[in-house]
Structure 1
Amino acid sequence: MDVVALIGIGLLTGVTTVLFGFGGGFVAVPVVVWADAALSADAMRVATATSALVMVVNAGFATAVTPRRVLVALRGSGGLLVLLAAGAAIGASAGRLAPATLVRWAFVGYVALTIVDLLLRPGFLRPRTREEARAAAPRQLPALLGAPIGAIAAFLGVGGSVMTVPAARRAGHTMHVATALANPLTLAIALPATVVSLLGAALPTSGGTHVHLVGLVDVGAAAALLVGGLPVIAVLRRRPPRIPDRIYARAYVGLLALVALAMLVSGDQG
């Protein structure tokens, strides 16, 4: 894929990082699979590793520019962050060994199941009434969720927001807060996953692929995505759009559906 196209898609990763807490992972995986289709089955491994690096930078920057009054909701969540990181290290290591086809279909399957869950199970699409909001303050995410969320997210290269955003919303947070909190949680997952990916042995590539790997990371694709994404994060964090909560939640579900479709299309082309 042309570098200019990757930079353009990087703009989208910046938007999804701020608005949906994705850190770029859900966008980066299908895009890098498409960009590195010359690697054949190994493109999925490279995509998940490259996605992890993109998420470290995007989520770290988004967290740094998030207002402290929002991040205070994570106070006392040290155990959750540690277990997210531990699970991520395990999931990233497993992803290196698993068949690429398994990772691809696990990605699509998980996103599809998540969409069904968000549509059918109460608590995500329907915002709380004023009476409900006054009756119960937002709750913290259980620390025990950290290890499975981290493992699944790192295995699939998605950063965990597809699990943490719905969980935070059902814990009583608005979409604006839930998506903002997803970025530091994504950082806890993406950092160990990136270390595992960078330190691993690089894949053998032919001279005609034009893919430059460090470990399993396509550094050229990652750089182009970040060039496009970081300025958008800075602008949107400074001037976030005002989106009604109900529309915000529906847009989140719609974006998940587009990502699943993009993965299916990129797989067919690969």
Structure 2
Amino acid sequence: MNELIIISLAGFLTGITTYMFGFGGGFVVVPFVYQMLSNQYPYNPNVMHVAVATSTAVMIFNSSFASYVNWKKGNVHKNLIYPLIIFIAFGAVIGSLISGTLSDHFIRYAFIFYMVITIVDCIFRKGFFKQVSKRDLSVPTYSIGGVIIGIVATILGVGGSVMTVPLLRRHGNTMSESVACANPLTLPMAICGTFIYSLYSSDVGMKDYHFVGLINTSILILLIIFGGLGIYLARFIPKIPDSIHSKVYVWLLILVTIAIIF
């Protein structure tokens, strides 16, 4: 019973962070599922893979809903999404195929390393906390950069928002615009990744749960239901000033990194 409550609260929090910060699920779901399953199955080598796969599946629903809500509000700009989304999708396919060859420990440490680098970059590199003049993404940025975002985000199950939000922010967009566009940019990774993860063997040594491939459907259903509720209610939260929005974004990254470490 306690686990059901915790899963529901995690789903609700995931919905709020999806809408407000573009975190389609990975930054809450991966540490949460990893911690919960590793306590139950401390010697299981598939825990991190299951956390990443389940997170990826959650993002299809959360990012779709958040994208629709932001589109209705006029916050989603086509020029910020296309053609970047095409290259992210290509990278997502590559990342999905690579992920199955990597060890559980490698993915966990890569997740931590990825988060630390992102936090340091946001804090010490100009252009994130203070909005700069707008400029278009260069061809190398949206092509090569898009493929890299797709690969890394799919392997780690983080949705790519931690790369796309700072990227769009440094090109002069507000936090609201960057977050709104991060959700649809997450969808290619979520769809491609979920499809590939669903094809893996379901024999992961966790008999208390139901699986489709590596995706824990028992946890997934609750996360989707309460995540949707969180997104719906987050629409009524007053708009955060841009400077505060960017700082809260980084603090959330720090909290998640601490959670996955300990």
Query: How high is the TM-score relative to the length of structure 1?
Result: 0.89
Cα drift, residue 67 of structure 1? 3.0
How does 1:60-209 map onto structure 2 within 5 Å? Answer: 60-68=64-72, 69-71=74-76, 73-75=77-79, 77-128=81-132, 136-140=133-137, 142-144=141-143, 145-205=145-205, 207=207
Separation in 1 of the partners of 2:116 and 2:134?
Answer: 30
CA RMSD of aligned residues (A): 1.7
**Partners of 1:36 and 1:211 within 8 A in 2:** no
Kindly indicate whether the alpha-carbon contact (under 8 Å) linking 2:197 and 2:215 is maintained by their aligned counterparts in 1.
yes
* Residue 58 (structure 2) aligned to one of 47, 54, 59: 54
Rounded to whole Å, the distance in 2 between the matches of 1:204 and 1:255 is 31
**Aligned twin of 2:210:** 212
**Alpha carbons of structure 1 residues 63 and 261: separation in structure 2 relative to 1, 3 Å:** same
Structure 1 segments unaligned to the other structure (5+ residues): 129-135, 266-270
How much has 1:117 moved relative to structure 2? 0.6
Match of 1:17 in 2: 18
Q: How many residues align structurally?
A: 254
CA distance in 2, matches of 1:161, 1:206: 30
Q: Check conservation: 1:17, 1:62, Cα contact below 8 A.
A: yes
Write the deviation string for residues 100-159 of structure 1: whole angstroms up to 9, x where unpaired.
10000000011001101111100001234xxxxxxx445347421211100000000000
Residue 248 (structure 1) aligns with: 245
Following superposition, the deviation at residue 212 of structure 1 comes to 1.6
User: Whole-Å Cα distance in 2 between the matches of residues 175 and 120 of structure 1?
Assistant: 18
Matches of 2:241 and 2:20, distance apart in 1? 12
Amino acid across the alignment from 2:131: P
Q: Deviations over 1:199-254 (max 9, x none)?
A: 222234254xx1221100001111111121101212223x2422111111111110
2-structure distance, mates of 1:137, 1:25: 28
Deviation at 1:76, TM superposition (A): 7.5
Tell me by how many angstroms 1:18 deviates.
Answer: 0.7
Residue 90 of structure 1 and its aligned partner are, at CA, apart by 1.2
Task: In structure 1, give the amino acid aligned to 2:232.
Answer: A
User: Deviations 1:166-216 (Å, cap 9, x if unpaired)?
Assistant: 001011111111111100001121110010011222234254xx1221100
Partner Cα separation in structure 2 for residue 36 and residue 242 of structure 1: 36
Q: CA separation in 2, counterparts of 1:76 and 1:109?
A: 27
Amino acid at match of 1:143: Y
Q: Provide Cα deviations, 1:5-25, integer angstroms capped at 9, x if missing partner.
A: 100111110111011101111
Match of 2:234 among 203, 226, 236: 236
Query: For residues 212 and 65 of structure 1, do their structure 2 counterparts lie closer, same or farther at Cα, with a shift above 3 Å needed?
Result: same
What whole-Å deviation, never above 9, does each CA across 1:25-77 have from its counterpart, x for those lacking one?
A: 11100111122223422100000000000001100111112135322x22384
Runs of 4 or more consecutive aligned structure 1 residues displaced over 6 Å after TM superposition: none
The answer for unaligned runs of 5 or more in structure 2 is none
